[in-house]
Amino acid sequence: MSVIAFAKNWNGKFKNSTFELVSYTKALANQLNTNMVVLSIGEVAEEELKLLGNYGADKVLTVSNPQLNTLTSRAYADIVAKAANSVEAEVIVLSDNNSGKAIAPRVSVKLKAGHVAAVQELPLSLDPFVVKKSVFSGKAFGHIQIKSDKKILTIAKNCFGLVANPCDVAIEEFALDIDTNLFKVKIIQEEEQKDKVILSDADIVVSAGRGMRSPENWTPVEELAEVLGAATACSRPVSDEGWRGHEEHVGQTGKVIAPNLYIAAGISGAIQHVAGISRSKCIVAINTDPEAPIFSVADYGIVGDVMDVLPRLTKALRNSKS
């Protein structure tokens, strides 16, 4: 028996969320009194694979086939299922990001393993196996029992944190035949933003709403984001109006994020907006209306005009840095 984590890489590199996944899986393996295996798919340098050892991985299986450098959920699910079988994994753990969401349900069907997405913490109990997840778009938590022998989880970002646990890593090539039939989807074009902090990865997010009044007024938002090394985000009407790009829209119908710090400027705090940000560790609200609902979910609030408060905050941060 064992537990296995699938560590996704981005152009051969892992992210903090990968290390969080390894930290979580290690703790789960300890809870189950078993060992942990980490699976990596695609070409990743040995140095990078060894980093997984800093968080408790002592065995890494790697499928370093260059054909697998781009993710194909069908082929990846096939490999994850085969690797899980080969190490007799009882629990399979992935990150709850785009790829985890695409792969985990497929593995669930392959292995008849009950699947729970976006788990918030270590299992509440092992027998029966019960995990906790956010439901009703952040309005409640559900305790979900997994009844099958094999179980598959994706874990929510920032739910566990990084736990240092240095180990010597044994890296093994996991050999298998790749079924080329599984590559029916062809990528014909790809664009990646290189210069900006990616919203779904960001530790700090500066977000603005209709209270900014016009797209020309965004400079103070961008300046604040810059001193903080933050990503920028916005409410839905702002992206609907085309004031900002759709990739910035957070909320129930946009992105669901969980940064350490979320700054909401000129956002009223409608329930659908809050659904996307309620798992942030700390929320700061800036709004002219002291009755705005955003203050009921915020940790810190300033009643004031964004055009006035944002530059002040940027200045205070610059001063505190120097």
Ligand X SMILES: Cc1cc2nc3c(=O)[nH]c(=O)nc-3n(C[C@H](O)[C@H](O)[C@H](O)COP(=O)(O)OP(=O)(O)OC[C@H]3O[C@@H](n4cnc5c(N)ncnc54)[C@H](O)[C@@H]3O)c2cc1C
Q: Which stretch binds another protein (CB under 8 A): 43-51, 82-90, 127-135, 160-168?
A: 127-135
Binding flag, residue 210, ligand X (CB under 6 A): yes
Write down the residue that tokens 């559900």 correspond to.
142
Question: What are φ and ψ of residue 142, in 5° steps?
Answer: -115, 145
Cβ closer to ligand X: 181 or 214? Answer: 214
Residue of 89, 82, 25 lying closest to 58 (CA atoms): 25
Whether the CB-CB separation of 8 and 95 falls below 8 Å is answered with yes
- What is d(CA 106, CA 117) in angstroms, rounded to the nearest whole number? 13
Find the binding residues for ligand X in span 283-322 (CB under 6 A).
Answer: 286-289, 292, 305-306
The reply on whether position 266 binds ligand X by CB under 6 A is yes
Smallest separation (angstroms) from another protein to the CB of 50: 24
- Count of residues of this chain found to bind another protein when the rule CB under 8 A is applied: 93
Under the binding rule (CB under 6 A), the answer on residue 217 touching ligand X is no
Does residue 319 interact with another protein by CB under 8 A? yes
| 84, containing H or E segment | helix 73-86
Site string for another protein, 53-82 (x = CB under 8 A): --------------------xx--x-----
**How far is Cα 218 from Cα 220, in angstroms, rounded to an integer?**
6
Q: Select the residue interacting with another protein from 67, 85, 173, 246 (CB under 8 A).
A: 246
Q: Label residue 242 exposed, middle or buried (CB < 10 Å: 0-12, 13-18, 19+).
A: exposed
Dist CA 164 CA 270 (whole Å): 38
| Complex with ligand X: residue 14 or 243, whichever CB lies closer | 243
Q: Does residue 114 interact with ligand X by CB under 6 A? A: no
Give the residues lining the site for ligand X (CB under 6 A): 209-211, 235-238, 251-254, 266-268, 270, 272-273, 276, 286-289, 292, 305-306
